[in-house]
Homo-oligomer: A and B are copies of this chain.
Amino acid sequence: MQVARTIQEAREQVKQARSSGRSVGFVPTMGDLHRGHLSLVGRCRELADYVVISIYVNPLQFGPGEDFDSYPRDEDRDLALAERAGVDLAFLPSDRELYPGDTSVVVTPKRLADRLCGLSRPGHFEGVLTVVAKLFGIITPDVSIIGQKDFQQAVLIKRMVADLNLPVDIEVAPTVREEDGLAMSSRNAHLSESDRGYARRISRGLAEAVAAYRGGERDAGLLERRVTGALGTGEELRVEYVEVVSAKDLEPVARADADTVIAVAAHVGGTRLIDNIILDRPDPDLEKALHNWRA
């Protein structure tokens, strides 16, 4: 595995791979790699000959008071995991390399950012889209794999690619979960054991809503209540939102269909967790967790 720390090094490595006729796949990450990231790498290897991963905690997408400073970073571990997963090139730029001066031009979501996570994180998605556009400009991938867990982010990246005609295909890969159903996240490390028990309610609530949907329930309000019922009203888990929305434009729907997403954000201890499910898309790890609960 090659490691590039400058834009020029990364471009040269990619150029070399391309010159030998290989297609380029790309997985952007903020590091602290877990099985979720590695599943994106695995899918990327199926779709492209040369797999690039970026590891960069992007300051532009963190607001004041958010967890930029405490965001977990472990470069040696990340590089070992990436290499073992079959990554060809790891790109680890410094802040100075990616943002050498004041940023004058950014990528802005006009719509789609004024809801869900965007409400509590103003500027977050501008930061996400700007850094992803930059990384796409540096790596020039043919295909990029994005995790479904950050659903609004995935929708916005797809919209950016469509609206700006960026020459890259985006694939959204299913959420990878712990055995108990909790969606994999670098932030799970902040959870105490009791927090972990509360956090589990999120995926359990989503699973109950899916079960109701499969049982014929289409009323969005009732599906939402399945989730909120599972989350409870205590201080141990504070709900930020539970929304039943269209997977395309994130607009709330009154009646659920195959293209409906249920998205949740909640705070457990000091940790903000998000999760979601697309009603008609299989979520193998959630099925497994359901099976475990029932056993």
Point out residues on A near B: beta carbons under 8 Å.
Answer: 7, 11, 102-112, 129-130, 133-135, 137-138, 140, 156, 159-160, 163-167
Contacts and interface: CB of A to CB of B under 8 A. Distances in A.
A131 to B, nearest CB: 10
Copies in the complex: 2
A33 to B, nearest CB: 23
A104 B163 contact: yes
A105 B160 contact: yes
Contacts of A163: 103-106, 134
14 contacts: A102-B111, A104-B111, A105-B107, A105-B109, A105-B129, A105-B159, A105-B163, A106-B107, A106-B163, A107-B108, A107-B164, A134-B164, A137-B164, A137-B166
A136 to B, nearest CB: 8
A2 to B, nearest CB: 19
Nearest to A111: B104
Contacts of A156: 104-105
A138 B165 CA distance: 6
Nearest to A126: B108
A263 B275 CA distance: 52
Interface centre among A11, A102, A105 (most CB of B within 10 A): A105
Given A105-B129, A156-B105, A159-B105, A137 B165 contact: yes
Closest 10 pairs (CB-CB, A-B): A137-B165, A105-B163, A108-B108, A105-B160, A134-B165, A104-B111, A104-B159, A137-B166, A138-B165, A133-B164
Given A104-B109, A105-B129, A105-B159, 17 more contacts: A7-B165, A11-B167, A102-B111, A104-B110, A104-B111, A104-B112, A104-B156, A104-B163, A105-B109, A105-B163, A106-B107, A106-B110, A106-B163, A108-B108, A133-B165, A137-B167, A140-B167
B110 A103 contact: yes
Nearest to A165: B137
Nearest to A140: B167
A141 to B, nearest CB: 12
Contacts of A165: 7, 133-135, 137-138
B130 A164 contact: yes
